[in-house]
């Protein structure tokens, strides 16, 4: 577990509470304690875990968030429109390093997405070799033909524009037009392209889980911090 030792203004700015130049004013407005002693000098060095603000511990030095993404939100820092980062506290958006999504969901896709400022974790889970389970539920435009589960599980399905076939995927049929699909890749628009390849079209798409983390207990737009166990 991290417990860095540095100036208080460096802690505050890194975690998004204020800029380093604002730290002195911040410490007059808010009660900043080091080992239960109130301090006012931002140049004092202290361990992260010894600092409290208004009797609350500092935010963790790295943070990982599971969010239930609503439709209409964009997984980007820079695009116009409703950005997914507006759904988390403003302070977290001022952290350095910056919080980013692990992969993306299309603007009209809902469900589980993970955000983190842990660059190593993001790189690991975003890697094409990561083999991360992603489970989706999809509403389809027309009834299934009946051979889709076999095609998806074959490991031989080629998507247009790809050089290699998809890895096997598990299709669970809930009704003729509603399915659950587990994949372990993250190709561009993969689920929609898979159903297009078998003559169907996805009308709605919801990601139920990412790497075992589910959003069953979160309403759309809600989030919670999570701990990622090292694998």
Question: Domain extents for the chain?
Answer: 5-57, 64-127+215-225, 134-210
User: Torsion-angle region of residue 29: left (phi > 0), alpha (psi -120 to 50) or beta?
Assistant: alpha
Tell me, yes or no, if 131 is annotated catalytic. no
State how far the Cα of 117 lies from the Cα of 2, in Å rounded to an integer: 14
Structure confidence at residue 228 (pLDDT): 86
**What does the pLDDT look like over 128-157, one tens digit per residue?**
778 899 999 999 999 999 999 999 999 999
Q: How far apart are the C-alpha atoms of 181 and 145, rounded to whole Å?
A: 16
Tokens of 224: 């919670």
Specify the CATH class of 134-210 in words.
alpha beta
**Per-residue pLDDT tens over the stretch 67-115:** 999 999 999 998 888 999 999 999 999 999 999 999 999 999 999 999 9
Of 114, 116, 13, the residue nearest 58 (C-alpha): 13
Of 79, 106, 131, 217, the catalytic one is 106
CATH assignment, 64-127+215-225: 3.30.70.580
149-182 confidence digits (pLDDT tens) = 999 999 999 998 899 999 999 999 999 999 999 9
pTM equals 0.91
64-127+215-225 and 134-210 in the same fold? yes
Q: Which fold has domain 5-57?
A: 3.10.290
| Nearest one of 219, 14, 212, 230 to 114, comparing CA atoms | 212
Assigned token pair, 5 = 């030792």
Task: Report the C-alpha gap between 127 and 113 in whole angstroms.
Answer: 16
């Amino acid at each position: 577990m991290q417990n860095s030792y540095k100036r208080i203004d460096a802690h505050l700015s890194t975690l998004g509470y204020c800029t380093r130049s604002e730290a002195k004013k911040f410490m007059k407005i808010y009660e900043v304690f080091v080992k239960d002693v109130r301090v006012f000098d931002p140049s004092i060095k202290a361990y992260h875990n010894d600092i409290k603000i208004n009797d609350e511990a500092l935010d963790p030095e790295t943070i990982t968030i599971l969010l239930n993404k609503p439709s209409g939100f964009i997984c980007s820092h820079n695009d116009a429109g409703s950005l997914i980062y507006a759904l988390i506290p403003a302070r977290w958006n001022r952290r350095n390093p910056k919080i980013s999504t692990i992969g993306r969901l299309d603007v009209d896709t809902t469900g589980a997405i993970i955000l983190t400022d842990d660059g190593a974790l993001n790189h690991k889970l975003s890697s094409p070799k990561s083999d991360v389970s992603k489970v989706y539920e999809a509403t389809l435009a027309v009834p299934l033909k009946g051979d889709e589960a076999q095609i998806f599980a074959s490991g031989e399905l080629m998507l247009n524009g790809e050089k290699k076939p998809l890895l096997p995927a598990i299709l669970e049929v809930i009704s003729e037009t509603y399915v659950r699909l587990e994949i372990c890749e993250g190709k561009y628009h993969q689920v929609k392209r898979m159903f297009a390849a078998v003559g169907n079209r996805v009308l709605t798409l919801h990601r139920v889980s990412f790497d075992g983390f589910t959003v069953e207990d979160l309403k759309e737009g809600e989030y919670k911090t999570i701990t990622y166990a090292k694998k």
